[in-house]
Amino acid sequence: MFGRHKQKRQVNDDQQLIDLIYRVREQWHQAKRVEENAIQVDNALEMQTALQKNKYQFLYREARRRKADPTLVSNERIKYQTEIAKQAD
């Protein structure tokens, strides 16, 4: 009654935060790959990469501040990562 719902909500919010961190991290790495493979790198491309990097760093710091448990990765995230690993093989 006193605080049970708050703890459950915090765990759910932490899980969503961790999932978001993984998504933004993938977007950052994708932006880096595009920048590395581009023949001519313009300011917009560099800014997009920097933006994704800063988003990731902000979310990572927020997760550390909240002491989010990294094992809270959702089942959807785990399925997605195993599919990517299968495609790489």
pLDDT the model gives residue 77 = 65
pLDDT the model gives residue 51 = 94
Helix (H, G, I), strand (E, B) or coil at 86: helix
pLDDT the model gives residue 5 = 66
pLDDT the model gives residue 2 = 63
> Sign of torsion, CA 54 61 20 73?
positive
pLDDT in tens, the chain (89 residues): 566 666 667 777 888 888 888 899 999 999 999 988 888 888 889 999 999 999 999 998 898 888 887 776 666 666 666 776 776 66
| Continuous H helices in 1-89 | 4-37, 43-66, 75-88
Please give the Cα distance from 85 to 89 (Å, whole number): 7
Number of domains observed in the structure of the chain: 1
Domain that holds residue 46: 4-88
